[in-house]
Chain A
């Protein structure tokens, strides 16, 4: 079961990273173009 735990932690790390980066983008007023 420890393996499942580590995989979920990896997912949480990536999701947290995405969330934090998007919040930073919003805070600093950066929007991206969709090409």
Chain B
């Protein structure tokens, strides 16, 4: 049987004091261990740095980082193996608040947070702050509305709470389905990230990288469940934070002489803003933008009637090839002409797709600053400008706030985060643990805006305006890795790189930061290992959430309530393996628009869980029927709004009717409609069809009031 948390009771000085002292003693021992571990990581990095200085190749450094960190996680995973249900699902509820906060930080820091946030801030400036504000603010909701009460309830999963609080099969089943929906999409993206990072660290193929990374994920979670995941996440947090901080601190020292980037990047932002203004007015930049505007116009003409345009292009390419062959031109020129001919779209649909993509890119590049807003500009448009500019400003601000709302509420409702607070020994520790979680997450999120600004300053001051032949080595290196991450084109043929001639992907900002800062390769490998730690830690938490939902809520609670503890844990392990393999298989297919689906997971979680959880805790009259309908309606409306308005989903579902945005809200923030609807439905149905007071009301009393 799993260990059931004890209820609050009035103080019993002797036993409580002894237990508290014992708990504090364990906490101190763990802190000493953590300090030694951190020193060991730093020593390992220094050692590899020395070996690089002595001539160790980059490939070996990358392999050593990969194998070293995976071996560390595997050791922790094996040492934490268990067959006890409470240990497997909730780490025996013995994790100190500080360490649970750290594990939550790693659980939270996905590959998207580690790699993507600074990149998004680089590309979108102020508007990207919606992510860090929403994601951090969500923990206030977790602290005030959910974590202490869920810990007081004290079972294993979120669907457990819905099932016990509301009674009946439906709320548990809906909770289970929503948890799998939110978590599976998310875990596919993490495994995709693991594949990319592993491939880059070792040079193996992406598909091989996925299955190597999958091995890393499984060694963390397969044998020890939540207990193993918790302690590997603590180790992963240390690695990912060191990896994130080293390049940005070095960039800060290099640019300002101060090793606290979070405090001084405002000064660099002022310089970046001045540089951006100069770029907007620079004649060479204007010339580049005009070239792209002409290119966009040509593409628009071709797209008006793509059939004849494609035939004409093919005819011209064939004529050029024939002319070159007839004149016995150099083999290189003939090969280039052949490549140009074979690179033409095969048919009209592919021509339309290819040219539409090129048109979108040319339109972006025909705008000032590569289509990016000035870094410090709050929202699009101008609140003091024309009617159109005021309207654009209002719309941009509204979408910013809607996104913050969805990310905040979605964060507070993500099952893999909420179940972390089941692992601490008490309600008090749960509250403290949220505070530690916010601190550990905040450390990265206050650094990301600084990194974005410092890298932009470096690019604007050292790269833009440089002759193509003298560009830094990292530009060519990242172009070789993947041209979609970084590419440069001398479109106006002046031999000098203008800002709009450079295409830089968000994902490259963090990964290339060490090279941009001029640091040795060992730091680049460290950053890749940090990204791997971020992806592995989140993937483990998500896989455990899915396997717990299936094994505990579906199998144990619904199919075989008589199952023994050992059987339940065995089934959880088998399911974890199956889900991991399924997610790896889907990730290996390189699914389109996976980042949209990850963002959508926040709206799904917000609409499905938040109203039912909050009203379940704070309103005794909320009924099971109302909660089920509220979850269905909230999630249904969110999914409907996304399906009819999001371009990729529209194409997948074959929706052709015009996009209809309500109050101009983008589909990524669909939860802004689903959450209020969920609340409204639960309240109305509970009032219209009340249930008799019963066990569920006693449960609310028990989790809300310490004397109950």
Indicate, yes or no, whether A interacts with B.
Answer: yes
Q: Within 8 Å of chain A (Cβ to Cβ): is B345?
A: no
Residues on B with C-beta less than 8 A from A6 are 133, 136-137
Q: Which of A6, A13, A25, A35 has the most CB of B within 10 A?
A: A35
B438–A18 CB distance below 8 A: no
Nearest residue (CB) in B for A15 is B435
Please report which residues of chain B, range 80-118, place their CB below 8 angstroms from some CB of chain A when the two chains form the complex: 93-94
Contacting residue for B133 out of A3, A14, A21, CB 8 A = A3
CB of A26 to closest CB in B, whole Å: 9
Q: Within 8 Å of chain A (Cβ to Cβ): is B161?
A: no
Q: Within 8 Å of chain A (Cβ to Cβ): is B143?
A: yes
Residues on A with C-beta less than 8 A from B20 are 34
A18–B23 CB distance below 8 A: no
A18–B426 CB distance below 8 A: no
Known: A18-B431, A33-B9. A7 touches B132 (CB 8 A): yes
Contacting residue for B434 out of A2, A14, A25, A33, CB 8 A = A14
Residues on B with C-beta less than 8 A from A1 are 266
Residues on A with C-beta less than 8 A from B140 are 10, 13-14
Count of chain A residues near B, Cβ 8 A: 25
Question: How many angstroms between the C-alpha atoms of A33 and B427 in the bound complex?
Answer: 9
CB of A23 to closest CB in B, whole Å: 12
Q: Within 8 Å of chain A (Cβ to Cβ): is B502?
A: no
A35–B426 CB distance below 8 A: yes
Contact with A along B1-17 (1 / 0, CB 8 A): 00101111111100110
Question: How many angstroms between the C-alpha atoms of A34 and B7 in the bound complex?
Answer: 10
Please report which residues of chain B, range 243-291, place their CB below 8 angstroms from some CB of chain A when the two chains form the complex: 262, 266
Question: How many angstroms between the C-alpha atoms of A33 and B347 in the bound complex?
Answer: 71
Residues on A with C-beta less than 8 A from B15 are 33
Known: A32-B428, A33-B426. A14 touches B442 (CB 8 A): no
Contacting residue for B143 out of A3, A7, A17, CB 8 A = A17
Please report which residues of chain B, range 1-58, place their CB below 8 angstroms from some CB of chain A when the two chains form the complex: 3, 5-12, 15-16, 19-20, 22-23
B446–A7 CB distance below 8 A: yes
Known: A10-B139, A11-B435, A13-B140. A30 touches B426 (CB 8 A): no
B426–A14 CB distance below 8 A: no
Residues on B with C-beta less than 8 A from A13 are 140, 143-144
Q: Which of A10, A28, A34 has the most CB of B within 10 A?
A: A34
A4–B262 CB distance below 8 A: yes
- What's the interface size class on B, roughly? 35 or more
Residues on A with C-beta less than 8 A from B439 are 11
Nearest residue (CB) in A for B21 is A34
Question: How many angstroms between the C-alpha atoms of A10 and B435 in the bound complex?
Answer: 9
Q: Within 8 Å of chain A (Cβ to Cβ): is B432?
A: yes
Known: A4-B446, A14-B434. A32 touches B426 (CB 8 A): yes
Contacting residue for B449 out of A3, A10, A17, A28, CB 8 A = A3
B10–A18 CB distance below 8 A: no
Known: A3-B449, A6-B133, A25-B428. A14 touches B16 (CB 8 A): no
A35–B93 CB distance below 8 A: yes
Contacting residue for B132 out of A3, A11, A14, A34, CB 8 A = A3
Contacting residue for A14 out of B3, B139, B429, CB 8 A = B139
Known: A4-B446, A25-B428. A10 touches B438 (CB 8 A): yes
Q: Within 8 Å of chain A (Cβ to Cβ): is B629?
A: no
B431–A21 CB distance below 8 A: yes
Contacting residue for B438 out of A11, A30, A32, CB 8 A = A11
A31–B12 CB distance below 8 A: yes
A35–B5 CB distance below 8 A: yes
Residues on A with C-beta less than 8 A from B10 are 29-31
Question: How many angstroms between the C-alpha atoms of A22 and B429 in the bound complex?
Answer: 10
Question: How many angstroms between the C-alpha atoms of A18 and B137 in the bound complex?
Answer: 16
Residues on A with C-beta less than 8 A from B9 are 30-31, 33
Contacting residue for A30 out of B11, B93, B262, CB 8 A = B11
Question: How many angstroms between the C-alpha atoms of A21 and B76 in the bound complex?
Answer: 35
Known: A10-B140, A14-B140. A35 touches B434 (CB 8 A): no
Question: How many angstroms between the C-alpha atoms of A28 and B707 in the bound complex?
Answer: 10
Residues on B with C-beta less than 8 A from A10 are 136-137, 139-140, 438, 442
Contacting residue for B129 out of A3, A32, A34, CB 8 A = A3
Q: Within 8 Å of chain A (Cβ to Cβ): is B445?
A: yes
Residues on A with C-beta less than 8 A from B129 are 2-3
Residues on B with C-beta less than 8 A from A4 are 262, 446, 449
A7–B133 CB distance below 8 A: yes
Contact with A along B674-708 (1 / 0, CB 8 A): 00000000000000000000000000000000110
Question: How many angstroms between the C-alpha atoms of A31 and B13 in the bound complex?
Answer: 9
A33–B438 CB distance below 8 A: no
Nearest residue (CB) in A for B143 is A14
Nearest residue (CB) in A for B132 is A3
Contact with A along B435-455 (1 / 0, CB 8 A): 100110010011001000000
Contact sample, A vs B, 13 pairs, CB 8 Å cutoff: A4-B262, A4-B446, A10-B136, A10-B438, A13-B144, A14-B434, A14-B435, A17-B431, A30-B10, A31-B10, A31-B16, A32-B426, A32-B427
Not counting A10-B140, A25-B706, a sample of 4 additional A-B residue pairs whose C-beta atoms are within 8 angstroms of each other reads: A3-B449, A10-B136, A11-B442, A33-B426
Chain B residues with CB under 8 Å of chain A are 3, 5-12, 15-16, 19-20, 22-23, 93-94, 129, 132-133, 136-137, 139-140, 143-144, 148, 262, 266, 425-429, 431-432, 434-435, 438-439, 442, 445-446, 449, 706-707
Nearest first, the 4 closest Cβ-Cβ pairs linking A and B are A31-B11, A32-B426, A33-B6, A34-B19
